[in-house]
Amino acid sequence: MDDIKRLSFQYFDDHANEYTEDYYLSQQTHPKWVRQKSIKKLILKHINPSSGSILNLGCGPGLLEEELADSAYQGIGLDSSPEMIRLSNERASFKKYKDKWKFIVGDCERTGLQSSSFDCLVASGLIEYMPEDRTLLDEAYRLLKKDGILIINVTNILGWSTCLNRLTYHLKRIGVIISIANFIKLNIFKEKVRAKDLKFIPRKHRVKKFLKDSKKHGFSHIYSEYQGFTILPAPFDIIFNLLPGNLNSRLEFLKDTPLRYFGASYLVALRKRTD
């Protein structure tokens, strides 16, 4: 397992509960929720709930599956982290949708699942933690049925906040900076989860190159949009939560302007070609 894949696995497995609380449950306006709503909208548009089978690669705590179960979708959630799968199963039992969704521990690049068995694959917040794109795209192609849909999110190398990732990566390694961020989180926002010092920097993508490469791997473009217009990357984006009106969550309108190219991420729907 390559370093970035190994380190990201360790991070998400060690901090599964904190990650879920910090980036989802305690922040209903976080960009991850914006992404999830867009993914659900694409699935509703392209996949029939009565006959479609879905595989969510890198499913995390299973929050997308919960939303999809409410709309009668079923499928499999796969994650390399046993702790994330434990949370997913726990949530599915509590919310009573275990009959619709199965959660398994596995490697997204080598799932071992049957070829041509899914109508839709979701890979959100995943490919940037892989050492390269080829293996994941080939596995997605293998798993999809004819004309199946891959919904995938990549980190935009031109994104404003992602351009600052390397700087904030080094800042977070300075004890006093992390202490200040945690003081704000704990004492002003009353958040229980502390800022983390990542041991790696997620990969970034050139959007046009990614689309070109996906075509080489047998996919055609259906839909795409830029997302994630926070002023600063986490955890420093919390500074702007001090201002009235929750500025960070109100900037998504930029996806429909010429400034869309500076969005932190790029969500794209691709169709498996068989010609």
Query: What pLDDT digit, counting tens, does each position of 120-139 carry?
Result: 999 999 999 999 999 999 99
pLDDT at 241 exceeding the cut of 60: no
What does the pLDDT look like over 172-199, one tens digit per residue? Answer: 666 666 676 667 666 766 666 556 666 7
**Torsion sign (Cα): 146, 40, 49, 76:** positive
Give the Cα separation of 241 and 258 in Å (integer).
Answer: 25
| Confidence (pTM) | 0.86
- Per-residue pLDDT, 117: 96
Q: How distant, in Å, are the alpha carbons of 12, 21, 80, 230 from that of 25?
A: 16, 5, 21, 18
Whose CA is closest to 152, among 110, 104, 108? Answer: 108
Bridge partners for 156 per DSSP: 205
- The architecture of the domain spanning 3-272 is 3-Layer(aba) Sandwich (3.40)
Of 26, 104, 29, the closest CA to residue 62 belongs to: 104
- Domain extent listing, the chain: 3-272
Average pLDDT over residues 233-245: 57
**Confidence grade of residue 162 (pLDDT, cut at 50, 70, 90):** confident
Stretch (H or E) spanning 14:
helix 3-14
Dihedral sign for Cα 149, 122, 94, 106, please: positive
